[in-house]
Structure 1
């Protein structure tokens, strides 16, 4: 073929090269900007969904915590209030309280079984203040006393002269100084153990100054006469158990990281007549207690605050109102979640 003669394939090669160059061309600035804008819109939507789901999760978590706190608080308080003034031996038994200084010791005032305190009433357990575990002004409180049936052991014999009980097991769990309640089908008595150990079944309730507050007499009969012998009474069988005394109130808390707030606190009578103060539930802002009384078989028409109770022995039911607050600001108004719960508890020992 003559080299000067145009090749029939030369044009097609040029067209192919031109198409190849067009296929290798990059994005224009306008196309790039459009792609970036679309990507930002998609990313913004994803972030909005993420933030919305995160807030929903935080709100749900706070609600769950508030509900769990409410269940814990009401379950523990109701368990104690139901037993107020009671013992395993029977209802309304005459009780000889031979402890010293019963009038000035909150956990030894057995005659009432329970007592409520208004928002400005002086509380014998903790005073008002801003320190850790001190009571928050304006919040109400309640004290409960009962015989702890979970610690009860059977009485095998009782010698009033030597002030000794023999119980049915060495696993009685009683230590020197423990405050105890003993009862049979006729009467009950409250005293302090002066000598006891886990190697035998003997529990002694003598007088003396070895323990505080101590017993004013070794006689456990009625009427109580504070002398060495006192009024004698021999318990015929029955049950011996630890005296349970609890005080519930709203107090301040302070954490190591500087965080502060309010919690539900419990002060309880512990071993050897010591009082332990425990923080039970965080985030309880307020507590209100109201009481329903009865006169014979006739119930009062409504619950009344502590100041309205005439006779604490006539109280048959307690209405608790607790206000809970979450720890994070996830409410619709930018504040912490607040919920109020009400629970009504009947006293087993006094309901007919």
Structure 2
């Protein structure tokens, strides 16, 4: 008969909990993993923000550049003849205020000599450019004008001509620039040129049905700051007598003129407006725009070179990118 313990001691070791050392090790591991996750998230968020802001800078740069280059290429366009080939008879009140009507392109170096027609504050040191030309495809007269002060009739109004617009009428041998005092919406469309918006109601001649009516405007591009202190590129229209912001985030605009010094219709030198020797030899414009991001997101401030000089960017920590493009003056190249 056995007299041993009916409940023999188990050989298994019972778990009584984590030691302090084990707990500290586990907490350290968790902290490292959490820190790594936070770092990856922050880096991803920063990269997303940088990419988003740079994409906006690229978009603004393309939009501003496209608008400028289109107007530069079309400057001097007057339908069948260049404005440099015809000297128009100007009867419009408040006409383009250039040295001569043939000056389809005017550049003000650093804004010198330009009278700001708006309440906006131009950014100091930035260039200003004014470009004038007709707009749209033009439309022919429905018939001959009986007299030189008769109303003008056209078949339709595809260019959206309106009262007080500057309008050029031309038959490729003569041209008149006037302001429309009324534009009817009937068929045909009737355009009046009374002397309440013109120096006289008489054109240089009674045009025949081979003449064309074209919308005319002068656009001035300049960099200015808005009420919030943010700079942008503005377009001032002589027709509407108002300025429209084309895009924000423009720090600077610098323009170089391409001169053809040997008559081969190829640019020989690029100079600033105050160094142009012969404006008749200017055949193109090199446009430089310095853009900035909307917010300060750079990791550190840095200097930025633009147009051969150090750009005054301060410590705003914004991303910046320079855009340089070239446009030929198509109506000066044969």
TM bin (shorter chain): 0.7 to 0.9
1:315: how far off?
2.5
CA distance in structure 2 between the aligned counterparts of 1:82 and 1:278, rounded to whole angstroms:
21
**Equivalent position to 2:210, from 237, 259, 280:** 237
Show the counterpart of 2:139.
153
1:193: how far off?
1.5
Contact 1:164 1:202 in 2 (8 A): no
Contact 1:126 1:134 in 2 (8 A): no
- Classify the secondary structure of the residue corresponding to 2:226: strand
User: Would you say 1:340 and 2:322 are equivalent positions?
Assistant: yes
**Equivalent position to 1:208, from 167, 191, 195:** 195
Q: Report the structure, 1 or 2, having the larger helix content.
A: 1
1:241: how far off?
1.6
CA distance in structure 2 between the aligned counterparts of 1:219 and 1:311, rounded to whole angstroms:
33
User: Would you say 1:267 and 2:236 are equivalent positions?
Assistant: yes
TM-score normalized by structure 2?
0.84
CA distance in structure 1 between the aligned counterparts of 2:282 and 2:50, rounded to whole angstroms:
40
Show the counterpart of 2:250.
284
CA 1:219/1:115 → structure 2, altered by over 3 Å: closer, same or farther?
Answer: same
- Cα deviation, 1:27-47, whole Å, max 9, x if unaligned, reads 122111110011101111111
CA distance in structure 2 between the aligned counterparts of 1:37 and 1:43, rounded to whole angstroms:
10
User: Would you say 1:27 and 2:13 are equivalent positions?
Assistant: no
**Equivalent position to 2:202, from 199, 218, 232:** 218
CA RMSD of aligned residues (A): 2.6
TM-score normalized by structure 1?
0.80
Rg larger in 1 or in 2? 1
CA 1:185/1:57 → structure 2, altered by over 3 Å: closer, same or farther?
Answer: same
CA distance in structure 1 between the aligned counterparts of 2:115 and 2:208, rounded to whole angstroms:
33
CA distance in structure 2 between the aligned counterparts of 1:245 and 1:39, rounded to whole angstroms:
67
Aligned length: 316
User: Would you say 1:88 and 2:79 are equivalent positions?
Assistant: yes
Contact 1:323 1:338 in 2 (8 A): yes
Q: How does 1:35-50 map to 2 (within 5 A)?
A: 35-50=26-41
1:88: how far off?
2.3
CA distance in structure 2 between the aligned counterparts of 1:126 and 1:161, rounded to whole angstroms:
33
Unaligned runs of 5+ in 2: 302-316
User: Would you say 1:183 and 2:170 are equivalent positions?
Assistant: yes
Show the counterpart of 1:10.
7
Unaligned runs of 5+ in 1: 221-231
CA distance in structure 2 between the aligned counterparts of 1:33 and 1:10, rounded to whole angstroms:
39
1:245: how far off?
1.4
Deviates more, 1:237-246 or 1:294-303: 294-303
